[in-house]
């Protein structure tokens, strides 16, 4: 009989770690190859110069032009996309059978938007909390609703 492997992804916009559960009575084990992290720089370090200036359509007044996209949000979205890409590749290799996502609500929404249907089909639960810094034992309480640990 094949073991049912469940991955628990604990992520936010800067770090993601993956834990594995091999079935009832087994502890959560870290998946070493799936420990991802990024460093979000300060806004002044992301944007090279001061915002540009533009003339008003009537008169001589000038105004600063604000960027259309917040650079922090853009960097955070790129990180979530990187995590989704890694999860998709692992799913295609058959590394896991089920998936539980634990992330803050905004990040969880981005995961939902980016996950392909093949990975969404393996999703058995979501927890909308930021638990990236929580110890592994504390995660067991949150995952217990979806898995028999």
Rounded distance between C-alpha atoms, residue 115 and residue 99, angstroms: 12
Q: Does domain 6-39+81-143 have CATH number 3.30.420.60?
A: yes
- State CA 114 to chain mean position distance: 10
Residue where the block lists tokens 């996502």: 101
Can you give the pLDDT at residue 141? 85
Q: What are the domain boundaries of the chain? A: 6-39+81-143
Res 65: pLDDT: 61
Q: What pLDDT was estimated at residue 148?
A: 73
For residue 52, the model assigns a pLDDT of 62
Angle at 17 between CA 27 and CA 9, to 5 degrees: 75
How would you write the pLDDT of the chain (149 residues) with one tens digit per residue? 567 899 999 999 999 999 999 877 788 889 987 888 877 666 666 666 666 656 566 666 666 666 666 777 888 899 999 999 999 999 999 999 999 999 999 999 999 999 999 999 999 999 999 999 999 888 888 888 877 76
139: exposed, middle or buried (Cβ count in 10 Å: 0-12, 13-18, 19+): buried
| Cβ–Cβ under 8 Å, residues 119 and 7 | no
* Contact (Cβ atoms closer than 8 angstroms) between residue 121 and residue 99: no
Residue 10 is predicted with a pLDDT of: 96
């Amino acid at each position: 009989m094949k073991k049912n492997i469940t991955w628990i992804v604990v992520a936010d916009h800067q770090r993601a770690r993956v834990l594995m559960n091999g079935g009832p009575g087994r502890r959560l084990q870290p998946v070493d190859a799936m420990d991802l992290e990024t460093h979000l720089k300060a806004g002044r370090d992301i944007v090279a110069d001061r915002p540009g200036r533009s003339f008003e359509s009537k008169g001589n007044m000038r105004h600063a032009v604000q960027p259309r996209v917040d650079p922090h949000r853009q960097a955070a979205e790129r990180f979530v996309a990187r995590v989704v890409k890694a999860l998709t590749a692992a799913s295609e290799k058959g590394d896991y059978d089920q998936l539980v996502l634990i992330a803050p609500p905004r990040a969880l929404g981005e995961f939902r938007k980016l996950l392909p249907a093949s990975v969404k089909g393996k999703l058995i639960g979501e927890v909308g909390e930021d638990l990236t810094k929580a110890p592994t034992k504390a995660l067991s309480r949150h995952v217990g609703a979806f898995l028999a640990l």
